[in-house]
Structure 1
Amino acid sequence: MKILMPALLALAIVAPVQAAKIAMEDQSQMQPVPAAAAAASVFQPPQEQDLPADAFGQLVQDGRAIFVDTRNQAAEYVGNGMNCTNCHLDQGRKADSAPLWGAYPMYPAYRKKNNRVNSYAERIQGCFQFSMNGKAPAVDSHVINALTAYSYWLATGAPTGKALPGRLYPVVAEPKGGYDLARGEQIYAAQCAVCHGDNGQGQKSGNDYVLPPLWGKDSYNWGAGMHRINTAAGFIKHNMPLGKGGSLSDEEAWHVAAFMNSHERPQDPRLIDGSVEKTRDKYHANDGVNLYGQMVNGVMLGQGIK
């Protein structure tokens, strides 16, 4: 199963700001799309042939290049083996994989976790800090401008402020009996290891990952949204194994998501006073279902890997 990971990206050009050291967005204030609407045809972004042959078109192309090859095109801001498209499939186009066309029209947006309205640029900055385990580009940087232009172009014709069907990772209900790590390990071995390795290490061609690592030093850190088991389960259920989305049951998606996130990964950059316990209390206690600061097989997770 190719579990290509969590990184939302791009925004409007505004005055430079410092990288926001904030929790990942949950947008819990936004109402979910009704089931009837979700069943309707999803938004269709424009095609490459629709790009204008001008400076804007070039900026969009730069944004797409950064999005699909982030480790090389924005190397100074990436600290792991991930690319944006690992979490937002098909170059940020795929419905039910947090597509850019569904994200761009929803900002600015209030985020409960930092209790303020965030711009789209700040949201992208958070992705670099957490999902990419790196540092945030300046808001007026070429990286942010290009990713913003790419997102804006993909959202051509999309209504502003409307939650479009397919814009998120769909919610998958937690099993009544909870998740089962042992069962998750079995599912991982049968469905995921062929692509992501027996130890979640991914697969490389030269220095580049062609299939992303799911845990360890080159994966997303403990602040990324994908560390939430419920978030990962939604992504896995509807997108994995690659090309066979929907083939796992809800329960199987939860079990394997829990197994994946029961492994150590880079530290949450918001670590408070070197304390996992304090960091969990402030940032993770109410952040979905997660294992940060929890004991698994006699080991407390969240110590981090450098």
Structure 2
Amino acid sequence: MKPKFLILMVSASLLAACDHSTPQASAPATQEPAHAASSAKAEARFEPPAESTIPNDDFGKQIALGRQIFMDPGTYAKAYVGNQLSCENCHLDAGRLAHSAPLWGAYPMYPAYRSKNHHVNTFAERLQGCFNYSMNGKAPPLGDPVLVALESYAYWMSKGEPIGTSLPGRGYPKLAKPAQAPDYARGETVYKRDCALCHGDDGQGQQAASRTVFPPLWGPQSFNWGAGMEQITNAAGFIKANMPLGRGNTLTDQDAWDVAYFMDAHERPQDPRYKDSVAATREAYHDTPDSLYGVTVNGHVLGQGISTH
């Protein structure tokens, strides 16, 4: 396991959650058919440039700063961060790893219309959403040095890619619907067996020397109810491809669905779009079987929010 993974992890982000919803116009197919497996293996996957090739000039300084913010937003973007997560919790290997929503898969797809906010988003606006939801913070204003540096990092990582083309490894895998509906009790069993070692029995992650080594998956320091990782489909795809850390694709699809449900069936900070009531907010933003916001699980109506103080 690489040391940098131990410093910035992930399983959840397993979750964290940057909002990982995909631009509407280019959503990938649900699942690759079996007969396509051999051709997929032969298909060349985009390789982002090595960190050592960051140019030694003023633009290179912005790229390097973007990488620092990406890896440690609590230090380099403190004013805009409201929890203990880092960007790398959901976008592994400094945003480079295929099937973990890599930066090189996202940057060439913008501007794009997104149903989440019903307008065409620039890439900078997409980054703002990550701060609002995954980081449970506040969006840097457009043109802020934090956004400029992050966009510079994503641009550099994506050089040589075709614009507007969804490449293999972009986003998270889309798993076929499970044979059995996702289940809390089965998910808890999977969590205790495969996730608790890193994320803790209470899901609150682990810290070392005041740095988050493994992120909290729910509770006050995790992503909020507006983040893309609260959608069970996103969480299941991420978990299947990448978790347990370093052993991706070892869980069954059913296990991935079940543990995603279990993770998302816990309370977390309120959706910043909350208005009037949980029921009204669900109707406006979460009215899908993919979200547990406003759903009663184990006698508790989820979506009440949780204090971050």
The reply to whether TM is greater than 0.5 is: yes
Identity %: 54
Query: Aligned partner of 2:233: which letter?
Result: N
Unmatched 5+ residue regions in structure 1? Answer: 10-22
**1:64-75 aligned within 5 A:** 64-75=67-78
**1:1-306 aligned within 5 A:** 3-5=11-13, 6=15, 25-32=21-28, 35=32, 36=36, 38-39=40-41, 40-273=43-276, 275-286=277-288, 289-306=290-307
CA-to-aligned-CA distance 1:244-289 (integer Å, 9 cap, x gap): 000001000000000001100000000012x100000000003x61
Query: Aligned partner of 2:155: which letter?
Result: Y
Rounded Cα–Cα distance in structure 2 between residues aligned with 1:214 and 1:279: 22
Matched-pair contact (CA < 8 Å) for 1:212–1:219: yes
Query: Aligned partner of 1:53: which letter?
Result: N
Unmatched 5+ residue regions in structure 2? Answer: 1-8
CA-to-aligned-CA distance 1:28-56 (integer Å, 9 cap, x gap): 32142684475423100001222211001
Rounded Cα–Cα distance in structure 2 between residues aligned with 1:61 and 1:24: 24
Matched-pair contact (CA < 8 Å) for 2:17–2:133: no
Q: How many residues align?
A: 291
More helix by share: 2
CA-to-aligned-CA distance 1:46-98 (integer Å, 9 cap, x gap): 01222211001110000000000111111110101100000000000000000
| Offset, 1:139 | 1.2
Judged with a 3 Å threshold, the aligned counterparts in structure 2 of structure 1 residues 101 and 24 are, in CA distance, closer, same or farther, namely closer
CA-to-aligned-CA distance 1:107-143 (integer Å, 9 cap, x gap): 0001123322110011000000000000000111110
Query: Aligned partner of 2:28: which letter?
Result: P
Query: Aligned partner of 1:28: which letter?
Result: Q
Rounded Cα–Cα distance in structure 2 between residues aligned with 1:89 and 1:26: 17
Matched-pair contact (CA < 8 Å) for 1:3–1:236: yes
Query: Aligned partner of 1:103: which letter?
Result: A
Judged with a 3 Å threshold, the aligned counterparts in structure 2 of structure 1 residues 62 and 102 are, in CA distance, closer, same or farther, namely same
Query: Aligned partner of 2:94: which letter?
Result: Q
**Counterpart of 1:13?**
none
Rounded Cα–Cα distance in structure 2 between residues aligned with 1:90 and 1:179: 29
SS at match of 2:26: coil
Rounded Cα–Cα distance in structure 2 between residues aligned with 1:256 and 1:272: 29
SS at match of 2:24: coil
Matched-pair contact (CA < 8 Å) for 1:2–1:242: yes
Matched-pair contact (CA < 8 Å) for 2:182–2:257: yes
Query: Aligned partner of 1:303: which letter?
Result: Q
RMSD value over aligned CA atoms? 1.8
